[in-house]
Structure 1
Amino acid sequence: MAIDRVDVNVTSPGRNFVTVKITTSDGAVGWGDGTLNGRELAVVSYLRDHVAPTLIGRDESAIEATWQYLYRSPYWRRGPVTMAAVAAIDMALWDIAAKKAGVPLYQLLGGASRTGLLAYVHASGTTIERLNEAVHGYVEQGFQAVRVQAGVPGLDHIYGVHDAAPGGKYEYEPAGRPAAGAPLRPTEETWDTRAYLRHLPAVFEGVREEFGPELRLLHDGHHRMTPIEAARLARSLEPYDPFWLEDCTPGEDQSVLRLVRQHSVTPLAIGEVFNSVHDYQTLITERLIDYVRSSATHAGGITGLRQIMTFAGIYGIRSGFHGPTDVSPVGMAAHLHLGLAIHNFGIQEYMPHSEQALQVFRTGYRVEDGLLHPGEAPGLGVELDEEAAAAHEYAPAYLPVNRLRDGTVHDW
């Protein structure tokens, strides 16, 4: 059989998603996630105008050959737009292969290596007290690992910090949409690294005092620190036994993590902005990180992410796949199937999608006692309801811009 159609669906049930639908000549259908937050239409054009026409008539079972074709033949390799497009095609082909075999995808990837996937959730609060309230809500649900983010005295809005809604629900969409008639541009936030470095150890101390030593605590630095600032923070958090410190420095210069390693034994995670195994070469061979943070959606799909994890496994580095709400349920399912199969799984980020999004994406994965499982439906186990998707038109949205107090554009 062969690929007969490649369609690209753009829907916005609360936020924008890009989904590929591949249909074969015998009627099989597979779904793939190509969402690139804030740059969605760039991926749409890449897929519709440059990728889809080249795939018609190709053997849908030749997944590795198709991946190499899409990666090597255009000459312009890597980059988030290219790799998100490759990812969408790759996921859809794996979905078809598992559906035709009549098994959940993880069975084609080697079978289950564990009974469930340890998940971490997001808790935050404008104060330590509000943060602890949010953490209590997750602990009561059975979660064993929590990412903690808190407000910093003297700063107003901080990306990733939001008080839980009534009932303990932590729902927010950081990609903002302008009001009617307002300019189409990102919101801007003010940042002060020194204030943050002074305050964060007290945040960890407050959470540890409330919840004791067993709860796994994670934190995301959002690339905001210089190497020496990151080293200082990593060392100051050691008494509170963090599970990891994520994105402590910008990802472009991998060598800076040597300095952090010299000063601290706090585990490090990085990579959500990386999109190929080559981005990790120094980090993995020098063991400068402990967890890989890439997502299947932005790193070439299941095939691309498996390349990274095979390489990382040689060096004892584990997975911590990126799982925000701007990775669609299709992309989340890809993480769960791969995570269940690989030996060097570490932890899975879990941000539940909104009820509105889950009316468009019909999911089969589940969470029980803080563990995720992809389910037993053939393929990825997620289907796009195209009629429901059509009711939600694309609307431009952008992640915020971060500036220092003097107005300098800063990392976030």
Structure 2
Amino acid sequence: MSKIERAEVFVASPGRTFVTLRLTTSDGVTGLGDATLNGRELAVASYLQDHLVPLLLGKDPARIEDIWQYLYRGAYWRRGPVTMTAIAAVDTALWDIKGKVAGLPVYQLLGGRSRDGVMVYGHASGTDTAALLDDVDRFLDLGFKAVRAQAAVPDVGGTYGVRKGKVYEPAASSLPEEQPWDTEAYLRFAPGYLAAVRERFGFGFHLLHDVHHRLTPIEAARFGKQVEDCRLFWMEDPTPVENQESFRIVRQHTTTPLAVGEVLNSIWDVQHLITEQLIDYVRTSVVHAGGLTHLRRIFDLAALYQVRTGSHGATDLSPVTLAAAVHLDTAVPNFGIQEYMAHADETGEVFRSGVTFADGMLHVSEEPGLGVEYDEKAAERFPYQARYLPVARRLDGSVHDW
């Protein structure tokens, strides 16, 4: 019987900091898992190296469900982003191994194709409305069928989601950048630039917008009602998700679809949102929600309540997670959309992925397993660099939700 013989944890910063787990079986089969938790990477690396790796050695890699339950239910302290990200890395690596042993891509093990490709959305942004419109035009020229639109609020220097260079990269400093925020200025400005996008480009593509937890429930309700004529695909993270009942207030006042979940990490975190039909899209991801095994459970629950998937997919997730997400997206019946940001060139030197983009969709690799390889030697050229996400402060100096 094959056993897990080696478990290695790699931390490298090729364009972004990633934590990668590689499992190797006694038969010489390897599997990759992503363990990246943006801004808290070393906490997960330690959790893996110091607490999970000793438990994995000698285990049967084919027993994916049993290992998931062992790591989750076998520990007294459950859930939380560090624990669930570490478990996700193990789970994803085991699915990679199972696919290679079976000689099949992972989506085939999940039930086969439900669709030919996975629709994705790109991230258009601008320092003002004119620049945003030019960027939306660029994404449409690239073939995207869905575009997220964000523009810098005039005279407010810390607007979320606006690209400074070729790639949007918020985690860019060794200590958190402190950015100013003005809710009223945002509420005055954002509906206008979303309307401008529709006026120039029409309704032949999906338009998305991320509020990024910046509004109170009633502010979010007002915003959603203001932009109803723009027919947004979704309004993402309109208000902090800790108080899930607050989404009922938003729901009562607007028909703009709601998406939430990228900061949530278990089926219990989204149970109320889904079963009470307070959201339209659940944005939990492979890496932060316990791997393919647990994310599939979330998506199956969502399907019962006509909630569709919309997994987080920014560059703080490695190509391992992107590949795993596209395999699951390809298989589940209630897929909605997949976030997609192209990784930096340096990332591509370390991770070789078979995922391809064409006609506004991502397509899985037909290679056995996930179809991703990790170049350990290349990773050595990109040693770990501490990077933090920004912190938002209101104009009076108090800390706001980022």
Q: TM-score, structure 2 length as denominator?
A: 0.99
1:177 corresponds in structure 2 to: 173
Task: Tell me how far 1:375 sits from its aligned partner.
Answer: 1.6
Secondary structure, aligned partner of 1:288: coil
Task: Tell me how far 1:265 sits from its aligned partner.
Answer: 0.5
Counterpart Cα distance in 2 of 1:38 and 1:162: 19
Matching residue's letter, 1:206: A
Which of 160, 179, 204 is the matching residue for 1:214? 204
1:309 corresponds in structure 2 to: 299
Secondary structure, aligned partner of 1:245: strand
Asked whether the 8 Å contact 2:235–2:257 carries over to 1, the reply is yes
Matching residue's letter, 1:250: P
Task: Tell me how far 1:347 sits from its aligned partner.
Answer: 0.2
Task: Tell me how far 1:266 sits from its aligned partner.
Answer: 0.3
1:32 corresponds in structure 2 to: 33
1:96 corresponds in structure 2 to: 97
Counterpart Cα distance in 1 of 2:3 and 2:220: 51
2:391 corresponds in structure 1 to: 401
Counterpart Cα distance in 2 of 1:354 and 1:55: 32
Counterpart Cα distance in 1 of 2:24 and 2:300: 30
Counterpart Cα distance in 2 of 1:235 and 1:358: 41
Matching residue's letter, 2:274: I
2:325 corresponds in structure 1 to: 335
**1:208-287 equivalent positions in 2, closer than 5 A:** 208-287=198-277
Asked whether the 8 Å contact 1:117–1:371 carries over to 2, the reply is yes
Task: Tell me how far 1:126 sits from its aligned partner.
Answer: 0.8
Alignment partner of 1:202 is 2:192: yes
Q: TM-score, structure 1 length as denominator?
A: 0.96
Matching residue's letter, 1:136: D
Task: Tell me how far 1:153 sits from its aligned partner.
Answer: 1.4
**1:278-297 equivalent positions in 2, closer than 5 A:** 278-297=268-287
Asked whether the 8 Å contact 1:5–1:56 carries over to 2, the reply is yes
Task: Tell me how far 1:213 sits from its aligned partner.
Answer: 1.1
**1:25-174 equivalent positions in 2, closer than 5 A:** 25-162=26-163, 170-174=166-170
Secondary structure, aligned partner of 1:198: helix
Asked whether the 8 Å contact 2:163–2:169 carries over to 1, the reply is no
Counterpart Cα distance in 1 of 2:216 and 2:350: 41
Matching residue's letter, 1:138: F
How many pairs are equivalent? Answer: 401
Task: Tell me how far 1:176 sits from its aligned partner.
Answer: 2.0
Asked whether the 8 Å contact 1:159–1:400 carries over to 2, the reply is no
Secondary structure, aligned partner of 2:227: helix
Unaligned stretches of 5+ residues in structure 1: 179-184
Counterpart Cα distance in 2 of 1:268 and 1:276: 19
Matching residue's letter, 2:258: L
Task: Tell me how far 1:210 sits from its aligned partner.
Answer: 1.0
1:188 corresponds in structure 2 to: 178
Counterpart Cα distance in 2 of 1:275 and 1:90: 14
